[in-house]
Amino acid sequence: MIYLVGSGPGDPGLFTVKGVECLRKADAVVYDRLAPEALLAHARPDAELIYVGKKPGEPSMPQEEINALLVELGRAGKTVVRLKGGDPYVFGRGGEEALDLTRAGLPFEVVPGITSGIAALAYAGIPVTHRGLSTSVAFVTGHEDPTKGESDVDWKKLANGAETLVLYMGVGRLAEISSELISAGRDPETPAACVRWGTRSDQRTVTGTLENIAEKVAEANLKPPAITVVGNVVALRDEGLDWYERRLLFGRRVVVTRARAQAGELSRELEALGAEVFEFPTIEIQPPKDFRPLDEAIRELDSFDWIVFTSVNGVEAFVERLRHHGLDLRAVPRRAKVAAIGPATAREVEESGLRVDVTPEEYRAEALIGALEGDSLEGKRVLIPRAKVAREILPEKLREAGAEVVVPPAYESVPSSKGKTRLEELLENGEIDCVTFTASSTVENFVRAFGEEDAARLLSGTRVACIGPITAETAGKYGIGVDVEAGEYTILGLVDAVVDLFAAGDVVEKGG
């Protein structure tokens, strides 16, 4: 089966559920320049990814060759996703691909996508129809086949045939198109707008009138890809409908260095505020190479007076190992008390079915020690299932307080450098606004990925935000300047710190 899938206008969140399902089962993905790269994460790790994107002014794979490629992959018995920007059948040449597949006797399905002619304008605060202003809309290509010799667009009929005109791929011919519409009778004072990279964090909108929009677009150096709209609905943008560009982190590109499995919450919170998130997981969470210490602790679970969780990862790994033995958290003795280092960890424990007795007011190991010392620890057994490599201050202090502490590795944090080349390019070009670190291990693995000297140099040209003082101290140890620390050592606290950083204005130099 070949699936012709519309990837939508650019915001990965606008991709369809069916599109995700198709990507998950595809043997091969043939994708365009306008298809968001983030969507490729839904593909199987072993799927063949084939780029056939087109860039203005550069050589690209002809449409006939793309059609032939789809036929070749289909005849090889592969499940194929043809991932196209926007909607396959709205100026996407999906019909041409479908016809060639039909002629080859190959089965196909079309999965529609949200077209940018609606979505980009909605994100720019421009409805394509509005009662009292526009009851009709026409979608027109501004870039026709140059070999035809003459235009198929009847500008005279179109000029007054629809109250809203939406032009795809027309930026290069905007002056000519505007002149055609005015000559055909469209009022030169009709509001107009041009939206580049609509629905993405780098969306840009230029407004004017039909008479001057081409000049304003040229002054703003607005390049393709862009959607142009002509009609009275454009004026609604100035009445407060430009909701997307008002978001607190709009236009900011922020790097999240958490392990991919844990990046979700931070990425979602940043994206909800308008940021474009680049995930660079400096660590991957893996099972420990030797489960024997953890298995022994589970066998002796009845003997522990305290179970202390220092991360969400530790909770998940501990619960998963209990399941492996046919157990769950009911195996924890009723007399045992449970401590969690912070609210996210506590929430994970309680969602797994166990009540948390102690969470310190300050979310780090030193504060957790103080909270535990409120209860006499002399002669008590304490279990801390955590990463194989972690700070030793907590078990050391508990032992000094008279406790017997068992620290079995529940998981391992393994360095990762996936996406390193692309991130290095973005940092070198000054295209990253902020890099976030959620733990000392993320700093250390970032340094390991780039080397100490290059890590400090690359980060010197961007902002750095740390979840707390311990992480910031680790960054400082490697010569990395930290612009902001979270007031509350949580993911939401880190998000607030990033927002505050940009609300305070642009920082030209570190510490400026």
Q: Is 211 exposed, middle or buried (0-12, 13-18, 19+ CB in 10 A)?
A: middle
Pairing of strands 226-230, 164-168: antiparallel
* ∠ CA 369-372-374, rounded to 5°: 120
What pLDDT sits at residue 508? Answer: 38
Q: Is the pLDDT of residue 362 over 70?
A: no
Residue range 473-484, pLDDT digits in tens: 999 999 999 999
Tell me the three state secondary structure of residue 91: coil
- Please, are residues 358 and 340 in contact by the beta-carbon 8 Å criterion? yes
pLDDT higher than 50, residue 79: yes
Compute the average pLDDT of residues 90-110.
95
95 CB-near residues (< 8 Å, 6+ apart) = 88, 89
Sign of dihedral through CA atoms 12, 16, 19, 21?
positive
At residue 324, does pLDDT exceed 90?
A: yes
CATH architecture of the domain formed by 253-282+416-503:
3-Layer(aba) Sandwich (3.40)
- Looking at the annotation, which residues are catalytic? 32, 54, 169
pLDDT over threshold 90, residue 441: no
Give 512's pLDDT tier (boundaries 50, 70, 90): very low
Q: In the structure encoding, which two tokens stand for residue 247, read together?
A: 């978001």
**More confident: 392 or 240:** 240
Q: Is the pLDDT of residue 211 over 90?
A: yes
The position carrying tokens 């902002």 is: 463
Q: What is the DSSP string of 13-75?
A: GGS-HHHHHHHHH-SEEEE-TTS-GGGGGGS-TT-EEEE----TTS----HHHHHHHHHHHHH
Q: Higher pLDDT residue, 136 or 371? A: 136
In which band, very low, low, confident or very high, does the pLDDT at 313 lie, cut at 50, 70 and 90?
confident
CA atoms within a 13 Å half-sphere pointing along the CA-CB vector of 499: 16
What pLDDT does residue 284 have?
Answer: 77
pLDDT given at position 58:
63
Which CATH code is given to the segment(s) 2-113? 3.40.1010.10
Q: For residue 160, what pLDDT is reported? A: 87
Tally Cβ neighbours within 10 Å of residue 109: 12
Gap between the Cα atoms of 430 and 424, Å rounded: 10
Residue 389 confidence (pLDDT) above 60: yes
Radius of gyration of the chain, Cα coordinates, nearest whole angstrom:
28
- The answer to whether residue 511 scores a pLDDT higher than 50 is no
Domain ranges of the chain: 2-113, 118-242, 253-282+416-503, 286-413
Higher pLDDT, 165 or 263: 165
What's phi and psi for 81, nearest 5 deg? -110, 120
59 C-beta neighbours (distance < 10 Å), count: 7
Q: Residue 373 pLDDT more than 70? A: no
Kindly indicate the confidence band of residue 243, based on its pLDDT and cuts at 50, 70 and 90.
very high
State mean pLDDT over 273-282: 87
Q: 137-141 and 48-51 as β-strands: parallel, antiparallel, unpaired?
A: unpaired
Q: Is 235 helix (H, G, I), strand (E, B) or coil?
A: helix
118-242 CATH: 3.30.950.10
Identify the weakest region by mean pLDDT among 97-111, 197-211, 226-240, 409-423. Answer: 409-423
**Per CATH, which fold does 286-413 belong to?**
Rossmann fold (3.40.50)
CA distance 446 to 420: 9
The predicted-structure confidence for 120-157, as pLDDT tens digits, reads as follows 999 999 999 999 999 999 999 887 555 555 667 888 88
pLDDT of residue 476: 96
Q: What is the mean pLDDT of the chain?
A: 89
Q: Using an 8 Å Cβ cutoff, are 398 and 405 in contact?
A: yes
Provide the token pair at 394. Answer: 């907590």
d(CA 158, CA 443): 58
Query: Given a cut of 90, is residue 457 above it in pLDDT?
Result: yes
Q: What is the per-residue pLDDT for 510?
A: 45
Q: Do 253-282+416-503 and 286-413 have matching folds?
A: yes
pLDDT surpasses 60 at 170: yes
- For residues 282 and 471, the model is more confident at 471
Listed residue (290, 161, 168) closest to 229, CA to CA: 168
Mean pLDDT, rounded, for 427-435: 94
Angstrom distance (rounded) from CA 174 to CA 198: 18
C-beta neighbour count of 280 within 10 angstroms: 26
In three-state form (DSSP H/G/I as H, E/B as E, the rest C), the secondary structure along 334-387 is CCCEEEECCHHHHHHHHHCCCCCCECCCCCCHHHHHHHHCCCCCCCCEEECCEE
Q: What pLDDT digit, counting tens, does each position of 31-60 carry?
A: 998 888 889 989 998 999 999 986 555 667
Residue 341, Cβ neighbours under 10 Å: how many? 26
The values of phi and psi at residue 62, to 5°, are -60, 150
Instruction: Reduce the DSSP state of residue 394 to 3 states and report it.
Output: helix
Residues 453-457 have a mean pLDDT of: 94
Looking at residue 383, its pLDDT comes to: 94
Q: Which of 16-20, 149-153, 216-220, 316-320 shows the lowest per-residue confidence on average (mean pLDDT)? A: 149-153
- 172-197: per-residue pLDDT in tens? 899 999 999 999 999 999 999 999 99
